[in-house]
Amino acid sequence: EKIVYEANKYYYKGEPKVKKLEIEIVPTSQEVAAAKAGKYDIMLNSQTDSFPQLSELDNMNILTRKALYETYLGFKLGKWDAQNHTVITNPDAKMADVKLRHAMAYAIDNDSIGEKFYHGLRFTAAGPIAPIFKSLYNPNIPNFKYDLEKAKSLLDEAGFKDTNNDGIREDKKGQPLKINFAMMSGGEISEPLSQYYLQQWKQIGLDVALVDGRLLEFNNFYERIENDDPAIDAYAAAWGLASDPNPVGFYGKNEAFNMTRYTSEAMQTVLDKISSKEALDPAKMKEFYDEFQQIAYDEAPFIPLLNKVDIIPINKRVKMYDYNWDTSFTWADIELTAAEPIKSTK
């Protein structure tokens, strides 16, 4: 099945040069073969896994841009009170100690993950506000740059000690500490990446295991996260970033999408400021966003992991296509230099 658009010859900017636009959905397993055969001119939402093969084709140009997308490590810190539409944070949750959360973050080498697992198409997330929001992003807020020794030191300070010399730390009371970690299945990267996380946390003395001993299917994963399954202590997920970076939807105390179920007086106060009339003043808005970014780092209910680079393979017969976020491009601008898409010789 496909959707077909025909050019409007009465378009106010002039009749489009391309008379027909056809849109089809292609299984990800077929995208490389389709690109090689010259079946399509523009391929939106191409998969990171396909990048090495796509980049070798001599009939395609690969466009890139920083995506409004971020992966993160979340910690289950309470529950959702549906009746009162509010988050109830549990001060005795297994992951309640912020030094434990910070330590798990410092144990992850996101730079290496971006290069080795994602072919350089992911890069270390700078924080909860992506750098693409230039007027609000604060580069001076610290982030969780890979540091195993710092991670170990934080655990020592918090009282998570290896009391029986087996290489695994106990909790503050000297009892076994096992952290149950949830991650979704899907794609070639998920399984080796999950094992990398477990390996890194073991290096700092934490016993972390996959929930149910396996990766979880998408619907099962989110059903259990949203329903605050007590079997889950920490999880890896992702969110799409909106054109409005207001973080209240993920951090607010009255937001069902606050999946960690964490709130604090400091966090809610700054979120209220961001959503206030006072924030209509750009200087005040910048001040409030700076404050939020510092609190998000300090309290760490979420740990930003990676931002994404989108790729779009474009057949070399296509001219005038612009993929930038701030472009004035319209589909009427596209030109084609050949009657049919060019096929790869490789």
- For 305, left (φ over 0), alpha (ψ -120 to 50), or beta? alpha
Mean pLDDT of 39-67: 93
- Which pLDDT value is given to residue 225? 98
**How far, in Å, CA of 178 to CA of 161, rounded?**
13
Looking at the fold, whether 147 and 12 belong to one and the same domain comes out as no
Measured torsion, CA atoms of residues 75, 78, 79, 85, in degrees rounded to the nearest 10: -100
- Which CATH number does the domain housing residue 223 bear? 3.10.105.10
- Which pLDDT value is given to residue 239? 87
Burial state string for 107-117 with b = 16 or more CB within 10 A and e = fewer than 16: bbbbeebbeeb
What's the domain count of the chain? 2
**Sign of the torsion angle spanned by Cα atoms 211, 212, 218, 220:** negative
- Which pLDDT value is given to residue 326? 78
Mean pLDDT of 74-103: 98
Domain that holds residue 53: 2-59+316-336
242 pLDDT above the threshold of 80? no
Within a domain: 341: no
pLDDT band at 131 (very low <50, low <70, confident <90, very high): confident
pLDDT band at 257 (very low <50, low <70, confident <90, very high): very high
**How far, in Å, CA of 234 to CA of 209, rounded?**
10
Looking at the fold, whether 330 and 224 belong to one and the same domain comes out as no
Q: Quick check: 272 and 281 in contact, CB under 8 A?
A: no
pLDDT band at 159 (very low <50, low <70, confident <90, very high): very high
| pTM summary value | 0.87
Looking at the fold, whether 198 and 120 belong to one and the same domain comes out as yes
Residue 317's Cβ-side half-sphere holds a number of Cα atoms within 13 Å equal to 15
Mean pLDDT of 226-248: 92
Residues 6+ apart with CB under 8 A from 107: 146, 148, 151, 200, 201, 203, 204, 206
- Which CATH number does the domain housing residue 16 bear? 3.40.190.10
Looking at the fold, whether 270 and 332 belong to one and the same domain comes out as no
Looking at the fold, whether 154 and 242 belong to one and the same domain comes out as yes
Bridge partner residues of 280 (DSSP)? none
Looking at the fold, whether 229 and 153 belong to one and the same domain comes out as yes
Within a domain: 150: yes
Looking at the fold, whether 72 and 33 belong to one and the same domain comes out as no
**Sign of the torsion angle spanned by Cα atoms 270, 271, 272, 278:** positive
Within a domain: 344: no
- Which pLDDT value is given to residue 49? 87
- Which pLDDT value is given to residue 258? 97
Burial class (CB in 10 A: 0-12, 13-18, 19+), 34: middle
The first and second tokens of residue 92, run together, are 């005795």
Looking at the fold, whether 240 and 92 belong to one and the same domain comes out as yes
Looking at the fold, whether 30 and 75 belong to one and the same domain comes out as no
243 pLDDT above the threshold of 80? no
How many angstroms from the chain centroid is the CA of residue 217? 18
Residues 6+ apart with CB under 8 A from 317: 41, 336, 337, 338, 340, 341, 342
- Which comes out higher in pLDDT, residue 179 or 130? 179
Q: Quick check: 313 and 35 in contact, CB under 8 A?
A: yes
Residues 6+ apart with CB under 8 A from 35: 43, 54, 57, 59, 60, 313, 315, 344
282, 112, 291: which is closest to 199 by C-alpha? 112
SS3 content of the chain, % helix, strand, coil (to 5): 30, 20, 45
311 pLDDT above the threshold of 90? yes
Longest CA–CA separation in the chain, Å:
79
CB neighbours (10 Å) of residue 141? 18
Within a domain: 147: yes
